[in-house]
Structure 1
Amino acid sequence: MKKKLSLLLCMVLVVSLLAACGQKEPAPAAGGEDVAFEGVKYRLAHVVNENDSFHIAAEKFKALVEERTEGKVEIELHPNATLGDERTLLEGMQMGTIDMGVITNGPIANFVPEVAVFELPFLFSNREEAYGVLDGTVGKEILKKMEDVNLKGLAFAERGFRNLTNSKRAVATPNDMQGLRIRVMENPVYIDTFQALGANTVPMAWTETLTALQQGTIDGQENPVVVIHSFKLDETQKHLSLSRHTYSPATIMMSLKEFNKLPADIQEIIEKSAQEAAEYARAVNTESEEVQLQELIERGMEITEVDVEAFQAAVSSVYDKYRNQYGEYMDKIQAELNK
């Protein structure tokens, strides 16, 4: 009897040990809180120079994150397209070979089509309208959509209201644009907008545009005042038309793969710091624009105010074309603006 009891106890012990060996360790909570965070160094890239609002946003973001994480997260800045053009940066963030970026809204539309709704012509009358939508429910919803393509949208910074420059003539009405070869971003909304205005559109990466302007293979381009000023486009472009045809956001973003590796508290710091950096850069942009315009005039650029109503009428077909694609967001934006 004793032998049988001993044998039974041994069998119970063996089964218990086998069961214990088969158990998995509890999975760490989302965000990696259960894993000790020793620190990380990121590369943040953009395609413009150190005088641009992108770099201002990047510097502020870097300072806030490094201070709030007590140096556990370091951010190394790479301006001037040293890591590639914006499409290359976006693809790199998808794969995790680029960590962070400040990216113009236009190229993002090739990955997340919904963001193009923000750049429908004459959608916003002023900055305050744009900020309310971008920082509100619509903006947050579209930032979230970036996760579907392995990107983490952190906050909307600013490229600003875009204006037309060219080397040929003053442009005050759409008729003045007939036949001008205008560089636009590789974005269907921009292409359709400028074709509706009568221009010959030339989709082109920004990294190629300066050379094309210098060589005269294109007549003009469109960008906010800060870009026109910081890249000294007055050296090749005689005429600046204050069309303010589109408000262009920019996104402070990072690789979703890298974001998901971070503990929840670090994720929260990064998101909060990105929003504050975006708002800071917007304020600097607003304060600087009048000064930059005056300097462009002093450097010989001729400034023209445009017939906004004529421009709006000329691009009505763009809204008709994109109603099926962006109608839901067009309605949501209009509801936000009407509050």
Structure 2
Amino acid sequence: MKTLFKAAAALAALAAPLPALAEIEPVTLRLAHVVNEQDAFHAAATKFRDLVDERSGGAITVEVFPNATLGDERTLLEGMQIGTIDMGLITNGPVSNFLEDMAVFELPFLFPSSEAAYAVLDGEIGQELLDRLSEVNLKGLAYAERGFRNLTNSERAVNTPADMGGLRIRVMENPVYIDTFRELGADAIPMAWTEALTAMQQGTIDGQENPVNVVHSFKLNETQTNMTMTRHSYAPAIFVMGLPVWNGLGEEAQTILADAAQEAAEYERALNASQQGEQLQALSDAGMTIVDDADLSAFAEAVKPVYEKYGAKFGDYLPRIQEQIRAGAAQ
């Protein structure tokens, strides 16, 4: 009889929820982004959703809203601040409109490689800036990526800054991007991504700048006949929540969300790296002219005034980043 009692007790213990998971209040979080389901952002968002579901034992449900169905990136961030939007995966450029120092990452030709960018973002500097988003009622969780940005246009192949003259180029609503392209000789036109897609179709702008994965997932080759691999700026993307929503969660739930965001971010980075070669080939096969031998030293020289204008505005962040990059290259 004692043996049967012990066996029954053991089975009951196995069936009982884990103590940590039992503490999590059931909650549904809406995660929004502005790109389509073929984009790496969506892959990151769905990976995050699945990790959170698994690790919370189903207590935390994440609903993913792609295609700007809940608004453009600025609208999403504003909604997070007041608690009407729970969270999003947002390109760093719009985030820097809320915390200016985040724009230090957008300076042209700052990062020589993805690895150099990851070391800064996942290290002390990147985490410090994520934490500072609390100053504007946001909670930064982890850095995914938009990636290294390249120029596309519908007018001509671009090999040097001289070829940029007069091109109407959509850029993010961010002063660093605007001034970068003005220094390169383009007519920089800031606008939301959803508006840019229509503008390219209507021919009211000549081009835009984005990583290869965006050019491919949105089939920009249908309106953009040329792409130059300028890699002029590395754009992080941030898993970000509204601080009001974050503060309403328990510690265990917060830990699950933060860890899942970091893992999903690293998953998306690896996905981008593995897919870029195939995406470039597909764009080329579709008729897009891809310039991969542009005079990048001339581009970097042309944008030096951007550093003169903005370098000191970011406090000690720029020299700290540059020192970390130099130290990493010396190893």
* 2:148 counterpart SS class: strand
Report what 2:5 is aligned to. Answer: none
SS in 2 for 1:338: helix
Report how far residue 36 of structure 1 moved.
Answer: 5.4
Q: Is structure 2 residue 314 aligned with structure 1 residue 326? A: yes
Select which of 129, 137, 142 maps to 2:129. 142
Give the match for residue 107 of structure 1: 94
1:268 aligned to 2:255? yes
SS of corresponding position for 2:253 = helix
Does residue 1:210 correspond to 2:222, yes or no? Answer: no
Q: Deviations over 1:200-256 (max 9, x none)?
A: 011000010111001110000000000000000000000000000000000011111
- Equivalent position of 2:302 in the other structure: 314
Aligned: 1:166 with 2:176: no
Whether 2:292 is the aligned partner of 1:301: answer: no
User: TM-score, with normalisation over the residues of structure 2?
Assistant: 0.91
1:123 Cα deviation (Å)? 0.2
2:182 to 172, 179, 195: 195
Deviations 1:245-289 (A, max 9, x none): 000000011111111111111111111110000000000000000
Q: Distance in 1 between matches of 2:227 and 2:311?
A: 31
Where in structure 2 are the equivalents of 1:116-131 lying within 5 Å?
A: 116-131=103-118
Alpha-carbon distance, 1:327 to partner? 4.2
CA distance in 2, matches of 1:237, 1:38: 48
In structure 1, what is the equivalent of residue 243 of structure 2? Answer: 256
Give the match's secondary structure for 2:132: helix
SS at match of 2:322: helix
Question: Which amino acid counterpart does residue 165 of structure 1 have in structure 2?
Answer: T
1:97 matched residue in structure 2? 84
**Secondary structure at the counterpart of residue 195 of structure 1:** helix
2:141 alignment partner AA? L
* Residue of structure 1 in register with 2:225 after alignment: 238
Question: Match for residue 17 of structure 2?
Answer: none
The answer to whether 1:49 aligns with 2:29 is: no
Identity value in percent: 61
AA aligned opposite 2:254: Q
Contact 2:24 2:253 in 1 (8 A): no
- Aligned-residue offset at 1:64: 0.7
Residue in 2 that maps onto 1:11 = none
Contact preservation (8 Å) 2:161, 2:299: yes
* Amino acid aligned to 1:120: L
Gaps of 5+ in 2: 1-19
Report the residue type matching 2:208 in the other structure. Answer: Q
* Residue type at the aligned position of 2:238: T
How big is the shift at 1:145?
0.9
- Measured in 2, the distance between the counterparts of 1:41 and 1:265 equals 15
Partners in 1 of 2:23 and 2:93 — Cα distance? Answer: 38
Q: Which amino acid aligns with 1:70?
A: G
Following the alignment from structure 2 to structure 1, what is the Cα–Cα distance between the partners of residues 305 and 70? 38
| RMSD of Structure 2 on Structure 1 (CA) | 1.1
* 2:326 aligned partner, one-letter code: N
State the distance in 1 between where 2:25 and 2:237 align: 31
Paired residues in the alignment total 306
One-letter identity of the residue aligned with 2:271? V
- Larger gyration radius, structure 1 or structure 2: 1
